[in-house]
Amino acid sequence: MRTPLPWYRQGEGSQPAVCRTGWERKLSVPSHHADAPAPGPAYVPRTGWPAWAVLPGGVAIAILAALAGVGVATLIAMYLAAQSGAQPTAIETLWISIGGFLGFQIAAVLFTWLAAGMFSSDRAEGLALRTPRGGWKVLPLSLVPLFALTGIWTAALMWLQPDAVIGDLRPFKEMLEAGGIVTLLVLAIGAPLSEELLFRGFLFSGLAKSKLGLVGTGVLTAVLWTGMHAGYSVFGLIEVLTIGLYFSWLLVRTGSTWVTIFCHAVYNTVVGLVLYFVTLPPPA
């Protein structure tokens, strides 16, 4: 019969102490010498797309989505013309615009999702659709700086340049009055999903592998995203660029596009609801 070893063995440095009894239990002795490994960055690009190809790929997605939007808008216009036999009314024109936006958004999500799986990529990982670092509790916390920044900016503009703010918001007010819940869904769901997946998901993951690094990629994707809002005033474009830079920072800090999608969706929902219930002054 083998004699059991003593219950405690002193190891070298951080070596675990071992107990060998009839139950083969193991006890570990915490190390006081080895430093704990530093956590890695929250955002790591995980796409098979080469850096040089991702920007042309993003342009192709945007073009295909735009063609889809034009196609949907054209079909709606043809249907309305066949029903009335006359030029579309103002309300019908707004519905054509709403349909075009919706077609673009659905196509952008679809083409981005398909493209994200190319070059042996995992779609969800490539688009950073993962649990954010810090857990889901970071979602409400991420809204605080967003609404603080935009609230101060909008309040200042309403005092200094009210016409610019109202001019940027009026088209959305008109679409909300015409389309109601459909327009709100376009703003609150379609825009956040399509834009975040394309810019902070697809483009960011590929460009971050280039010499731009995370900072350069954050700035570039924010500028490109701002370019999608070219119809805004200069003041509106500054606000969009600021939000884009903040979303890039959020992505790098949390490692998850779910955070930017959430912030984008909540922000658009709040703006849409406010616009729906307030009355804008008539255009000059």
Residues 145 and 173 both lie in one domain? yes
Q: Model confidence over 7-29: pLDDT tens digits? A: 334 444 444 444 444 444 444 44
Residue 26, strand partner residues: 18
Establish if 40 belongs to a structural domain. Answer: no
28 and 130 share one domain:
no
Residues 219 and 258 in one domain: yes
Q: What is the pLDDT of residues 38-85, one digit of tens each?
A: 567 899 999 999 999 999 999 999 999 999 999 999 999 999 998 887
- In the prediction, which pLDDT does 11 show? 40
In a domain, 128, yes or no: yes
Q: What's the pLDDT at 37?
A: 53
Please count the structural domains in the chain: 2
Judgement on whether residues 76 and 140 belong to the same structural domain of the protein: yes
State mean pLDDT over 192-218.
97
Quote the pTM value: 0.85
The model's confidence at residue 88, banded by pLDDT at 50, 70 and 90, is: confident
Tell me phi and psi for residue 18, to 5 degrees: -120, 135
Are 22 and 57 part of one and the same domain? no
248 lies in the same domain as 163 = yes
**Is the residue at 45 inside a domain?**
no
Structural domain for 175, as ranges: 51-277
Which alpha helices (H) appear in the chain, and where do they start and end? 51-84, 90-116, 123-126, 138-160, 162-179, 181-185, 191-195, 204-207, 213-227, 234-254, 257-277
Q: Report yes or no on 242 lying in a domain.
A: yes
32 pLDDT above the threshold of 80? no
Residue 44 lies in a domain: no
